[in-house]
Amino acid sequence: MATKTVTDASFQTDVLDSDKPVLVDFWAEWCGPCKMIAPALEEISNELTDQVTIAKMDIMENTDTPSKLGIQAIPALVLFKNGEVVARQQGAAPKNQLKGWLEQQL
């Protein structure tokens, strides 16, 4: 399963009400580091598809949710379990570091 796109409108249903943990990647088209980690997140999404949903939210098109969550720099990864924020990571990192961090949180 590839990454899922979420919006301010779908955030409640796709993330907060999800029965599976959801990692949201807050990104923007102009963000170089965001583009650098995108392929790694796709691969992790395919590898951990049974354990977690990986979602992407464009902060330029969706401003309410990032603002409510205090997202001030991107890329920002926020993990939700049962509608609650359980972990955050900011900045780009190699795939093995991203995956290791995520697996520790699950």
Residue 57 annotated among the catalytic residues of the structure? no
Q: What is the DSSP string of 21-40?
A: -EEEEEE-TT-HHHHHHHHH
Give SS3 for 88: strand
Q: What gap in Å lies between CA 41 and CA 64, rounded to an integer? A: 23
DSSP single-letter state for residue 20: S
Q: Please pick, among 15, 34, 48, 77, the residue that the annotation labels catalytic.
A: 34
Q: Please pick, among 31, 44, 78, 93, the residue that the annotation labels catalytic.
A: 31
Residue 60 annotated among the catalytic residues of the structure? no
Q: What gap in Å lies between CA 1 and CA 62, rounded to an integer? A: 23
Q: Which amino acids are annotated catalytic?
A: 31, 34
